[in-house]
Amino acid sequence: MSKLFLPLAIKGITLKNRIVVSPMCQYSSIDGFANQWHLVHLGSRAVGGAGLLITEAIAVSPEGRISPDDLGIWKDEHIGKLAEITDFIKAQGAVPGIQLAHAGRKGSTYTSWKGNGKIPVAEGGWETVAPSAMPFADDYPHPAALDLAGIQKVIGDFKASAKRAYEAGFEVAEIHAAHGYLLHQFLSPLSNKRIDQYGGSFENRSRLLLEVIDAVKSVWPVDLPLFVRISATDWSASEEGWDLPQSIQLAVLLKEKGVDVLDVSTGGNLASAKIPVGPAYQLPFATAIKKETGITTATVGLITSAVQAETILVNEDADLILFARELLRDPYFPLRAAKELREDIAWPEQYARAK
């Protein structure tokens, strides 16, 4: 049996294989609502055989969106359309996961095919928030530094959204603390210049993420998995940024808190970063974190073939493989991968004549 198609039990759920649809913003929503696009996008990848599908970054508050076109889960009305999607995913034997997100200072920006950079408030944008009043880059909005009441609101928004996510039928919750969005902004000394209990030391910079995890766990069922996505490094040339040793230190704390899977990405918080992109270029970070802490890790980034994914698992360099662009090119990649690895997996009955 290949490792890629070996089921993985995490708490009360079992993934039928190790192929995960990585979160991918579709920028196709109005007022945060899911629609037919999201159903077909996620639904076809469930038909295509992925074991776990994690939605795009779904905003926990309107000001937590990246663009006005992001999905949201900040009100109960959002639950119904999301539930149609989770029902369909489950009917294909796959597991629906949700990425809960707050964009912080990277919010109020145009969807790439609609414009460039920040959206002024007068044109439908909003006031963004961050740990410190520093923009991500010149063409990004100037954020306001969150005060303590604002931080409490963020924590409450993640909690309420996690509760709605469960009501919408999701079985995995992933907290987005990567890619330069709000929780990563707090972790990294590049974006966090606070002098209160949420800034300065490693302990203080990690505080918000840990409090968000506690809040989410207070409403998320104990038998359902909780993932956290981090950027393991800022790829900063200076000594100042977030880096692998801090990620390992954080992973120890997350494991103690009962986080089930660490989804290890990199970058996104430093506009000028030089990133040595290549096949599986982020894997060494997931491997180091797994080996140092024993936490279950997921790897992502330029993994594009069945053999490449299988090799990672056989070497025990990571436990789950997330695919993003390969699954945009081919939603049926898992069915093809099974054939390549000589696995006889079940196809949707409707498609069996093509097997």
Ligand X SMILES: Cc1cc2nc3c(=O)[nH]c(=O)nc-3n(C[C@H](O)[C@H](O)[C@H](O)COP(=O)(O)O)c2cc1C
Is residue 181 flagged as an active site residue? yes
Strand partners, 296: 261
Q: Is 326 in the site for ligand X (CB under 6 A)?
A: yes
Q: Check residue 179 for interaction with ligand X (CB under 6 A).
A: yes
Considering the complex, what minimum distance in angstroms separates the CB of residue 292 from ligand X? 22
Backbone φ and ψ of 300, nearest 5°: -150, 155
CA atoms of 261 and 322, how far apart (whole Å): 12
Q: What angle do CA 162, 170, 2 make, to 5 degrees?
A: 130
By CB under 6 A, tell whether 180 contacts ligand X: no
**Interatomic CA distance for residues 155 and 329, integer angstroms:** 36
Give the shortest CB-27-to-ligand X separation in angstroms.
8
Q: What is the CA radius of gyration of the chain?
A: 19
Site for ligand X in 262-291 (CB under 6 A): 265
Among the candidate windows 16-24, 72-80, 156-164, 206-214, which touches ligand X by CB under 6 A? 16-24
| Binds ligand X (CB under 6 A): choice among 20, 47, 57, 168 | 57
Contact between 157 and ligand X by CB under 6 A: the answer reads no
Least distance from C-beta 94 to ligand X, angstroms? 17
**Amino acid making up residue 5:** F
DSSP codes joined into one string, 146-207: P-HHHHHHHHHHHHHHHHHHHHTT-SEEEEEE-TTSHHHHHH-TTT----STTSSSHHHHHH
Of residues 107, 131, 141, 301, which one binds ligand X by CB under 6 A?
301
CB of 148 to ligand X, least distance (A): 27
Q: Which of residues 158-177 bind ligand X (CB under 6 A)?
A: 176
Task: Retrieve residue 232's tokens.
Answer: 């393991």
To ligand X, the closest distance from the beta carbon of 121 in angstroms equals 24
102 lies in the site for ligand X, by CB under 6 A: no
User: Given the complex with ligand X, which of 94 and 199 has the nearer CB atom?
Assistant: 94
Kind of pairing between the strands at 129-130 and 144-145 = parallel
Q: Per rule CB under 6 A, is residue 22 in the interface with ligand X?
A: yes
Q: Does 178 bind ligand X (CB under 6 A)?
A: yes
211-230 residues in contact with ligand X (CB under 6 A) are 229
Return the number of the residue (109 or 265) whose C-beta is nearest ligand X. Answer: 265
Output phi, psi for 58, to 5 deg: -105, 125
Sign of the C-alpha dihedral computed for residues 139, 140, 144 and 148 taken in this order: negative
Dist. CA 199–CA 205, nearest whole Å: 5
The residue (of 114 and 325) whose beta carbon lies closer to ligand X is: 325
Give the residue, chosen from 5, 10, 15, 23, that forms a contact with ligand X under the rule CB under 6 A.
23
Distance (Å, whole) CA 143 – CA 241: 20
Beta bridge partners of 210: none
Give the interface size with ligand X as a residue count (CB under 6 A): 20
Residue in 15, 20, 24, 228 binding ligand X, rule: CB under 6 A? 24
* Element (DSSP H or E) covering residue 88: helix 79-91
What is the SS3 assignment for 294-342? CCEEEEECCCCCHHHHHHHHHCCCCCEEEECHHHHHCCCHHHHHHHHCC
Give the DSSP H/E element, type plus range, for residue 46: helix 36-47
CB 116 → ligand X: shortest distance, Å?
Answer: 17
Q: Is 324 in the site for ligand X (CB under 6 A)?
A: yes
Rule CB under 6 A: is residue 114 a binding residue for ligand X?
A: no
Among candidate residues 27, 110, 181, 198, the one labeled active-site is: 181
* CA–CA distance, 86 with 215 (Å, rounded to integer): 23
Please, what is the minimum distance in Å from the beta carbon of residue 152 to ligand X?
A: 25
C-beta of 235 vs 323, nearer to ligand X:
323
Q: In this chain, which of 302, 311, 332, 347 binds ligand X, going by CB under 6 A?
A: 302
Active site residues: 181
Give residues in contact with ligand X (CB under 6 A): 22-25, 56-57, 99, 176, 178-179, 229, 265, 300-303, 323-326
